[in-house]
Structure 1
Amino acid sequence: MNALTSSADFQLGPNLSGKRIVVAMSGGVDSSVVAALAARSGAETIGVTLQLYDHGSAVKRAGSCCAGQDIRDARAVADRLGIMHYVFDHESRFRDSVIDHFADEYMRGRTPIPCVRCNMGVKFTDLFRLAKELGADCLATGHYVRRIEGGSGPELHRALDPARDQSYFLFATTGEQLDFLRFPLGGMPKTAVREIAQDMGLVVANKPDSQDICFVPEGDYAAVVRKIRPEADSDGPIVDMEGRELGRHKGLIHYTVGQRRGLEIGGLSEPLYVVRLDPQTQAVVVGPKRALAVSAARIVEPNWLSDVQGRQVMAKVRSLAKPVPATMDGEWLRFASDEYGVAPGQAAVLYEGDRVLGGGWIEETAGAEACLV
């Protein structure tokens, strides 16, 4: 073990002998290195893996997590490290709370983020409970985010490596969970993590990173939704902002707000984008790019880690979007300038510098041209 491990801090005091750390092990390189760091710290280390799929599931794919070979990899790493390893079957819970919700959101014409739902429920809530039952002093995960002790308790911060930062997907982490959670990789670049895995001879050292949506084969969302909700392929009209029919589509599940490609409408004087999806009429509403401009978004089911009302913040409304200036006004997040591609079902996460202030789900948006999208 080299000096790279010095940045891994479980924050349990200078002497970890007599402490117990439970590590969430998905079978990937990140969580495996966390288990290795925990085992080398002197604390008693227990690896826990949640089986989220049937081993022969049609939605399982290579490069995902929590099934089949991934579980075998987690067990092999635990054996290499000489730590205990337990597997818990959470397939039905994952299906009900994540996969079915994913399909239902698409059926409602919304754009879901299943990774957040998984973290909110199966991964943090359930693992939190299991770790407590095992008498752990903390639960450690391989997420790239930092837990920093602030003046009023632990705070959630972006990872030092911006290319690996996962804070957007962890906005729903509660204060109680943050007290108990540890993120040893938040201060490391990915290259350092793989170097540690190589140095320790872990079988997963060169394993590809898992995909964002682990249960979607080849990125084909529509195929997964059709499998779960066969009625999802209902066709309908493609209409302009005035309701005039311009064409037909083969199912709302093939479209998201802001999409331009795949509309297959000819004879247009300007490019058109998906502005709204209407599940009541099965209509895809399209318009020019200016129709996508949004001045505010209503936020529901919020999780605030700090007071945000009336405060100037930076808001991230898509996982790959750059944060933009905004202010919280009651339930409404008001943007300092028009924002584009804001879709109901996505999350809005608020930041102050690198600190995560919390976030919530985008329920509806107020268009800059006074049309409610």
Structure 2
Amino acid sequence: MNSLDLPKAPHETRVVVAMSGGVDSSVVAGLLKRQGYDVVGITLQLYDHGAATHRKGACCAGQDIHDARRVAEALDIPHYVLDYEDRFRESVIDRFAESYLAGETPIPCVECNRSIKFRDLLRTARDLEADCLATGHYVASRPEAAGGRGLYRALDPARDQSYFLYATTAEQLDFLRFPLGELPKDETRRLARELGLAVAEKADSQDICFVPQGRYADVIARLRPDAARAGDIVDLGGQVLGRHEGIIHYTVGQRRGLRLAVGEPLYVIRLEPDTARVVVGPRTALATSRIRLGDMNWLGGPGEAAARPVAVRVRSTREPRPALLFRDPQGDGAEIELATPEDGVSPGQACVIYADDGPRARVLGGGTIRRVDALARGAAQAA
């Protein structure tokens, strides 16, 4: 076996590298080229950033495509730029807008990986007779004794991206490789300098590629100019406290920008798109104890319907925390009971399930949060 767990010599192994123009994917291409693999670089043009947000330059458009091309030339590898704008708009941007208008907090990076990079790009890699597709994600995969490959958290916990890759299927995982999963970020930077890559000091992208500065409402307003509907801001009892210009301006857990003079800090507890209401309350009302999931993807086996101890991650910035998993034997769903309630959990987000809360835990799967049962709401219903 070679370093990619494939049964051929490196020079006989064709690897397609998804090159975004950033330092991570560039180092992957450089390392594999140095190890003697037959490397082909592919960059996806996903959108016209200027048209999407009236701002030029960012991931997968403009300067990044130019940077990826420069790196490929320096490494002397074939490089192709594929126009995936239509696919990206339909599969990612339009779905993002629809989810946001439904009062959810979507994560387009998950859908991009699922629908574009690990479906369409993977198909292209196979068409090029590649033996695998390599990316610059910070996540680890390795062969399992029972067959197939398992997905694990990366060595560097600060860079771990397993939260965004839970929707990868077992079949896709067998074809994917993640060479940076066992490296800390500072080592990646060092390797970029050692390889003489022009992007060695390039800053990491921080925002969703088509939503710079995190201004979601601006993008939604351009994509769906007639969708914003004014409505009431109400407390947990339904009393009207103020007005708003559209639920697209709010997310669960938000405190700033409510413009309410009520003498106490209030937070967005939930959004009600059918009535165009923004429901606010004290921070304690954000505590979530049970989460209902749909659109499940299992990588480690769903297990039985009985309670199973696991660890879950409800936001990419949080560490996995202990919980109980209840699988729905009748459908594509599951329920999570959190050992310790968490704040700010919103429908539309991902809930990723791990075997445990260890630093190198295996990803068992995950799903989209469909319903959140907050402690305060549950107590009120019981009363």
TM-score, reference length from structure 2: 0.91
Alignment of 1:346 with 2:349, yes or no, is: yes
The C-alpha deviation readout for 1:225-281, integer Å capped at 9, x for no partner, is 10001124322110011111001112111111111221111133x322111101111
Query: What SS does the aligned partner of 2:26 have?
Result: helix
Counterparts of 1:1-373 in structure 2, within 5 Å, are: 9-13=3-7, 15-54=9-48, 56-59=50-53, 64-152=58-146, 153-268=148-263, 270-309=264-303, 310-329=307-326, 330=328, 331-352=334-355, 353=358, 354-369=361-376, 370=378
The C-alpha deviation readout for 1:151-185, integer Å capped at 9, x for no partner, is 22311011101111100000001100110000001
Q: Structure 2 unaligned runs (5+)?
A: 329-333
179-188 or 201-210: bigger deviation: 201-210
Conserved 8 A contact 1:297-1:365: yes
Conserved 8 A contact 1:232-1:253: no
- Letter of the aligned partner of 1:326 in structure 2? A
Q: Tell me how far apart the structure 2 counterparts of residues 271 and 322 of structure 1 sit (CA, whole Å).
A: 27
Q: Which residue of 2 aligns with 1:5?
A: none
The C-alpha deviation readout for 1:59-114, integer Å capped at 9, x for no partner, is 27567311122111111111111111111110011011111111111111110101
Equivalent residues, number: 364
Conserved 8 A contact 2:56-2:62: no
Conserved 8 A contact 1:60-1:215: no
19-28 or 50-59: bigger deviation: 50-59
Conserved 8 A contact 1:232-1:252: no
TM-score, reference length from structure 1: 0.93
After the TM superposition, which parts of structure 1 deviate over 3 Å for at least 4 consecutive aligned residues? 60-63
Post-superposition offset of 1:13: 4.5
- Letter of the aligned partner of 2:83 in structure 1? D
Post-superposition offset of 1:58: 4.2
Q: Tell me how far apart the structure 2 counterparts of residues 254 and 223 of structure 1 sit (CA, whole Å).
A: 9
Q: Tell me how far apart the structure 2 counterparts of residues 103 and 58 of structure 1 sit (CA, whole Å).
A: 12
Q: Which residue of 1 aligns with 2:331?
A: none
Superposed CA RMSD:
1.7
